[in-house]
Amino acid sequence: MDALRLALWQTPHPADSAEALTRLQTVARDAAAQGAHWLITPEMFLTGYLIDPALIAARAEPVDGPLIAAVRAIALREGIGLVTGWPEANPGALPYNSAAAIDASGTVLAVHRKIHLFGDGDAQRFSPGMDPPALFAWQGWRLGLLICFDVEHDAPLQSLAARGAHAVMVPTANMAGFDDVQHVRLPDAALRSGLAIAYANACGQEGGTVYNGLSTAVGGDGSRIAEAGRAPCLLDAALRPLNAPPSTPPARTRA
């Protein structure tokens, strides 16, 4: 099985969806040029995350709406898979905090709805997802999707491992004061589940919330493959499943 080349985009949230799509187009082109198979954005990148709940509800769309259609067009145009998030419409209730995996042909391969909501910030804006974690096949890999706080719980990881996943891609928006997630919890979760984890975090500030950066990729043996600092960057990481021979180009960070 060939190495899975990922680009973890550590970036502040945009002001609106128009800005998000413009920035996504540029960075998708950059990530494809450096050889990445998939680009992972932070949680809720397409609309903003901890913004006015009414604004989140107003920006909610179904997966077949114009926002994800625009992302599909970017994936096809730039020839790279994209994992990114938005508020998914949920008629009669608060939207879901969702992430879609869209391959380089522009096909939506999977959608995951965040299961484990974090605190009042999520509870005021989103309904919890009730389905098992999303899992899809891509070029011999079996790849899972989780969102932020989901990866800090055993059950979603155990579900993915039991279904044959090799790695998990995680859009996230972890906050200042919770560095232990990247430093301690992710390597421990990877080691216990046997799953490689690619954790693409936000940085900078959104309203009164400060995000802690430190986007991280860890192998299924708990080894640290790549880690960013606090500033915006595109973090490159090559993953291999546990039973594959060791990998090679070293991870690098590009500002």
Render pLDDT for 190-243 as a digit per residue (tens, 0 to 9): 999 999 999 999 999 999 999 999 999 999 999 999 999 999 999 999 998 775
Answer for the pair 190, 197: CB distance below 8 angstroms, yes or no. yes
Task: Indicate whether 116 pLDDT > 80.
Answer: yes
Tell me the per-residue pLDDT of 161-191, one tens digit each, with 9 for 90 and over.
999 999 999 999 999 999 999 999 999 999 9
Q: Assign domain 4-254 one CATH number from 3.60.110.10, 3.40.720.10, 3.90.79.10, 1.10.1200.10.
A: 3.60.110.10
**CA end-to-end span of the chain:** 30
Q: Which residues are catalytic?
A: 43, 114, 148
**Rounded (5°) CA angle 140-147-250:** 55
Residue 97 pLDDT more than 60?
A: yes
Give dist(CA 159, CA 17) in Å, integer: 33
Question: Looking at residue 222, what DSSP letter applies?
Answer: S
pTM over 0.85: yes
Q: What is the mean pLDDT of the chain?
A: 94
Q: How far is CA 48 from CA 42, 87, 182, in A?
A: 10, 9, 22
CB 190 within 8 A of CB 219: yes
Show me where the domains of the chain are located: 4-254
Residue 240 pLDDT? 84
